[in-house]
Amino acid sequence: MDFEPSAEQQMLIDQVRRFVREEIIPLEAKLDPDASELDPADHARLVEKTKAMGLFGIDIPKEYGGPDIDIVTRVLLAIEMAQHRAGLYVPCYGTFGGAGLAQIFEANDDQKERYLYPTLRGEKKAFFGLTEPSGGSDPARAIQTKAERKDNGWVLNGAKIFISNADRAQYGIVFARTDASKGRAGITCFIIDSDTPGFHVRRVVHTLRSSHYATELEFKDCWVSDHQVLGEVNKGFAVANDRLTRQRIPYAAGCIGVAIAAHEMAIEWAKMRTTFGEKLANRQAVQWMLVDNEIDIRTARHFTLEAAEKARRGLPFKIEASIAKLTASEGGGRVVDRSMQIHGGMGMTKDLPLERWYREMRIRRVGEGPSEVQRMVIAREILGSNLR
Amino acid sequence: MSIRLRLDKPWRPLTAEEIARLPGQLGVYQVADATGVLLCIGQAGARAPFGLRSELQRELAERGPGHQFRVEVNQQYRTRWFELLMVHQADHGRLPPDNAKNPPPLGRLSPS
């Protein structure tokens, strides 16, 4: 596979790179180092620019009004969009828009009218409620939130944790167990309005990602009608699983973008900084760190583009998505760590973005399926289904 | 495991002497009037030259004498600040008066 960008892709890459360097980074210099939002006026102004570029709503499918950009190109652009301080989790502060939760495209026509289209118009925000206090890596077994049949609907009871944006969203997609005897075939996906009685955002959960909090949710006799079932009863796990696999590719791209930015900073610093009468760049110890950075970045980029290319062709890409997520999150963490080491004391300060990337990149080895689960997915694939 | 939601340390007088004892670290703080009515919840972020000390010096300069404060050193000053504002809103149905003049985007929290 040839992963050199085409002329058209390169033009888009250059456009986004200029946008990040000329619009985002200068604004970011004035914000708190942990900021995750732009001033609303700046945000609105930049959204107009991304619309003029024809790149707003980049992840929205063409049939819903998106710009019809293939997944490989989207990965190349996602790598660029992440190359600023907040870029790992808030690429370009959301000025390129978003498609919302992928699952909501599976909704029926009535649900699309009530949730999907308002989300695409920016009128509604959603949260994704999967992980529970009992675990997140094995949702098929860990989900203890129950939904029981009552009054032509369902009553939910249980808790979710590490849920982003639940306190600000108008609705969420929530997974609950509807048949305790069926394991992964007993989970159903519900759309829950945030003002439904019995739905509570109980507390803020502080993490390494101090720019943004997660929340803990409680469902206490929370009744919803049959109209709120997304997809089919007891087939919710497939909806969650498909999303988790697809999400791994852009997740990897963000890690690569930050790794590139950290590596470029380290190269520049190594050429400039003199210690004991010698530039850092002339010292073998530093050269090898930079070489290892380069190898980690190229490896992750190759695997991520390979996964994207298979997805673009409609081929199975589960194993490739796991390899991409694994190499990009682990390699990206190593790159940021080495780049901090090269910067010495300055690398530890909030004057530079490295310390934020270091903290946020650590989460990437756990989020969207930890490294161990990715290895498990790959092992199952290469050892075959007779493993157990 | 106990999770502390509210900032409920004893109030200290907002004076130059008391502020001089503060660490130059990141964190959150509250300012009240002399009777203990909460006026604002603030944060000392990484752009404040001496963290909490700088922010409370600014508060003293703007408000003058007759006020009280309390602080919490916290590296997660941003998310903790949002949390304190949301908890206050849940407890009292409104934000402290100075925060209400220019409210940040806040979510809904219903602490149990």
Residue A159 is part of a domain; what is its CATH number? Answer: 2.40.110.10
- CATH of residue A283: 1.20.140.10
Q: How many domains in chain A?
A: 3
Confidence (pLDDT) at A66: 86
- Residues of A engaging B, defined by a Cβ cutoff of 8 Å: 32-35, 37, 165-168, 194, 200-204, 206, 210-213, 215, 218, 350
- Would you state the structure tokens that stand for residue A342, as one six-digit string? 């090269």
Catalytic pick from A306, A360, A368, A372?
A368
Confidence (pLDDT) at B3: 60
Residue A121 lies in a domain: no
Assess whether pLDDT exceeds 50 at residue A241: yes
Distance from CA of A39 to the nearest CA of B (A): 10
At A132-173, the pLDDT tens digits run 998 877 777 889 999 999 988 999 999 999 999 999 999 999
Confidence (pLDDT) at A324: 98
Confidence (pLDDT) at B29: 98
A268 is catalytic: no
Residue numbers in B near A206 (CB within 8 A): 76, 79-80, 83
Residue A111 lies in a domain: no
* Alpha-carbon gap, residue A201 to A215, rounded angstroms: 7
Closest CA to A190 of A175, A171, A170: A175
ipTM over 0.85: no
**Cβ atoms within 10 Å of A367's Cβ, excluding its own:** 18
Residue A116 lies in a domain: no
Give yes or no: residues A277 and A383 share one domain.
Answer: yes
Give yes or no: residues A223 and A247 share one domain.
Answer: no
Which residues, in sequence order, are CB contacts of A169 under 8 Å at separation 6+?
A124, A125, A126, A127, A194
- Would you state the structure tokens that stand for residue A297, as one six-digit string? 């970045």
User: A43 — phi, psi (to 5°)?
Assistant: -60, -45
Cβ separation A218–B80 shorter than 8 A: no
Q: Which CATH number fits domain B12-101: 3.40.1440, 1.20.120, 1.10.10, 3.30.160?
A: 3.40.1440
Identify the domain containing residue A70 by its residue range.
Answer: 7-101
Pairs from A296-299 (Cβ < 8 Å, separation ≥ 24) = A296/A259, A296/A327, A296/A331, A296/A332, A296/A334, A296/A335, A297/A256, A297/A259, A297/A260, A297/A263, A297/A331, A297/A335, A299/A327, A299/A331
Q: What is the mean pLDDT of chain B?
A: 93
Give yes or no: residues A309 and A278 share one domain.
Answer: yes
Residue A159 lies in a domain: yes
* Alpha-carbon gap, residue A5 to A384, rounded angstroms: 35
Give yes or no: residues A242 and A383 share one domain.
Answer: yes
Residue A120 lies in a domain: no
Give yes or no: residues A165 and A281 share one domain.
Answer: no
Confidence (pLDDT) at A105: 83
A4 by DSSP, 3-state: which?
Answer: coil
* Alpha-carbon gap, residue A385 to A301, rounded angstroms: 29
Closest CA to A175 of A156, A201, A194, A162: A156
Residue A112 lies in a domain: no
Mean pLDDT (whole number) for B8-26? 94
Nearest CB neighbour to A213, from listed B47, B82, B105: B82
How many Cα atoms occupy the beta-carbon half-sphere of B92 within 13 Å? 15
Q: Are A1 and A306 in contact (CB under 8 A)?
A: yes
Q: Tell me how far CA of residue A214 lies from CA of A131, A208, B39, B89, in angstroms.
A: 11, 11, 27, 18
Q: Are B59 and B92 in contact (CB under 8 A)?
A: no
Give yes or no: residues A161 and A259 share one domain.
Answer: no
